A and B are shown apart, each in its own frame.
Chain A
Amino acid sequence: ETGVTQSPTHLIKTRGQQVTLRCSSQSGHNTVSWYQQALGQGPQFIFQYYREEENGRGNFPPRFSGLQFPNYSSELNVNALELDDSALYLCASSTGMETQYFGPGTRLLVL
């Protein structure tokens, strides 16, 4: 059974650019949640996708958007990058509201 995978592992962008992060959910899971973890902080909920529909959103601006595909993999897109977007982005998959299992994360640095 394959766990949650994320790509890329690291990414460097400049302010104003756009970025796409990818997540493959664990086999059998139909729900993907995205979290942002700033340095020295706990993860913050960005949004969740369930069966290809957004199913809840945290306190993040609209320039954070996402997609979920029929195979339940997911993308997180961030437009107009700001310096404060530098963080570890974590994807977690689950079966509905059950326990969330996390991937290794993508570390984004915005210069």
Chain B
Amino acid sequence: AQSVTQLGSHVSVSEGALVLLRCNYSSSVPPYLFWYVQYPNQGLQLLLKYTSAATLVKGINGFEAEFKKSETSFHLTKPSAHMSDAAEYFCAVSDGGSSNTGKLIFGQGTTLQVKP
């Protein structure tokens, strides 16, 4: 069975500091991995995805994530935090369609706070 663990339910950084949000996954098949962002009272917006191509994935708004199979990790980073990055971030894993649904399994989420 697939699962996702996001380490740290709350992360606080200063504006301009490095953002690091941690995600570890468990999957019996080659996974597809995603990061989504959710702003208050909104749906989920796709930040980036890994689908077995390059292990370093670049997304929108300056975010990137690196797939590390040996560590079963897919951590999200951004070199310099902006106030507008404050939101809830979700890591998700999919079986890529091997179960014929490609359903997403989400982590519990990490709230990113950016201090001025």
Chain A residues in the interface with B (C-beta under 8 A): 4, 6, 33, 35, 40-45, 48, 55-56, 58, 90, 92, 94, 96-105, 107
Quick check: A99 and B49 within 8 Å, CB to CB?
Answer: yes
Select which of A43, A55, A99, A101 is within 8 A of B101 by beta carbon: A55
**CA separation between A48 and B108, bound complex, in Å?**
21
- Cα A4 to Cα B42 in complex, Å, equals 12
Contact of B104 among A40, A45, A105 (CB under 8 A): A45
A43-B44, A96-B97, A102-B45 in contact; A33/B103 too (CB < 8 A)?
Answer: yes
Tell me if B109 is interfacial: C-beta within 8 Å of chain A.
Answer: yes
List, sorted by A's number, 9 A–B pairs whose CB atoms are closer than 8 Å: A35-B106, A41-B108, A42-B109, A43-B44, A43-B90, A90-B43, A97-B96, A98-B102, A102-B46
Q: Is the CB of B100 within 8 A of A55?
A: yes
Partner of A58 from the list B90, B96, B103 (CB cut-off 8 Å) is B103
| A-contact 0/1 string along B20-47, CB 8 Å cutoff | 0000000000000010100001111110
Hey, which chain B residues are within 8 Å of A41, CB to CB? 108-109
Produce 1/0 per residue, B61-104, CB < 8 A to A.
00000000000000000000000000000101010110111111
What separation, in Å, do the CA atoms of A98 and B104 have in the docked complex? 11
B96 near A102 with CB under 8 A, answer no
Q: Do A48 and B103 form a contact, CB below 8 Å, given A42-B109, A97-B96, A97-B97? A: yes
Query: Closest Cβ of chain A: how far from B11's Cβ, in Å?
Result: 16
A56 CA to B105 CA, complexed, in Å: 13
